[in-house]
């Protein structure tokens, strides 16, 4: 059983611009540059059979490529922050792709995602980080904006947890035209 998720990769030039933000906060476990992505749908533990079915059905989901950009720091966990992220500038195409991924998952018998889609790029997971320090980080980077880039593919990943950062493996890649 693998832990699966569907995500948009982040281009190297955008990851390079994000890298300077990934320091200076006690209690933050910053994501390695190669792990940066925008999750479209987290699936969780799944069999190889389901992974294959997902790959086949996702390959049939045609959509045009679209522009994206990052727009300011924020965090999840209002009283007890658990992750630090960059927001994604509003984009209806991103929501449309999320809905297509959700439909494929439901068609294959997966439980629907109950949380609303909140597109973001996770910078760090937080453990024991001081709320005031997290709010200060958010304030310092509230005006961060990345250049616009073209999202031209999305991927099905497997994730392996360990003592260090998660290890991601690309199981399939799907072009956006």
Domain assignments of the chain as residue spans, ordered by start:
2-90+114-175
pLDDT at 161 over 90: no
Looking at residue 8, its pLDDT comes to: 99
| Helix, strand and coil in the chain, % to nearest 5 | 30, 35, 35
- Does CATH place domain 2-90+114-175 in 3.90.1140.10? yes
pLDDT category, 163, cuts 50, 70, 90?
confident
Report the pLDDT averaged over residues 152-173. 94
What is the rounded average pLDDT of the residues 43-58?
A: 98
- Comparing CA positions, the residue from 14, 40, 2 lying closest to residue 120 is 40
Mean pLDDT within 12-31:
96
Q: How confident is the model at residue 164 (pLDDT cuts 50, 70, 90)?
A: confident
Is the pLDDT at 165 greater than 90? The verdict is no
> What mean pLDDT do residues 82-96 have?
97
What's the pLDDT at 81? 97
For the cut 90, the answer to whether the pLDDT of residue 1 exceeds it is no
**Is residue 93 over pLDDT 90?**
yes
- Global confidence as pTM: 0.95
pLDDT at 40: 98
In a 10 Å sphere around its CB, with 0-12 CB exposed, 13-18 middle and 19+ buried, how is residue 63 labelled? Answer: middle
Q: Does 162 score more than 90 pLDDT?
A: no
The string of DSSP codes covering 17-77 is HHGGGS-S-TTEEEPPGGG-EEEEEEEEEE-HHHHHHHHHHHTT-----EEE-EEEEEEE-
Q: Answer whether residue 62 shows pLDDT above 90.
A: no
């Amino acid at each position: 059983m693998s832990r699966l998720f569907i995500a948009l990769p982040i281009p190297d030039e955008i990851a390079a611009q994000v890298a300077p933000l990934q320091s200076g906060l006690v209690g933050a476990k910053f994501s390695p540059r190669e792990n940066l992505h925008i999750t479209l749908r987290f699936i969780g533990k799944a069999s190889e059979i389901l992974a294959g079915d997902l790959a086949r059905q996702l390959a049939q989901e045609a959509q045009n490529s679209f522009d994206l950009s990052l727009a300011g720091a924020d965090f999840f966990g209002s009283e007890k922050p658990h992750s630090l992220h960059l927001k994604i500038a509003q984009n209806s195409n991103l929501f449309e792709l999320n809905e297509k991924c959700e439909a494929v998952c439901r068609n294959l018998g997966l439980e629907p995602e109950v949380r609303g889609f909140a597109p973001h790029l996770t910078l760090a997971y937080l453990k024991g980080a001081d709320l005031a320090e997290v709010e200060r980080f958010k304030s310092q980077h509230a005006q961060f904006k990345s250049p616009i880039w073209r999202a031209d593919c999305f991927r099905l990943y497997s994730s392996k947890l360990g003592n260090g950062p998660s290890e991601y493996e690309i199981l399939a890649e799907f072009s956006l035209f």
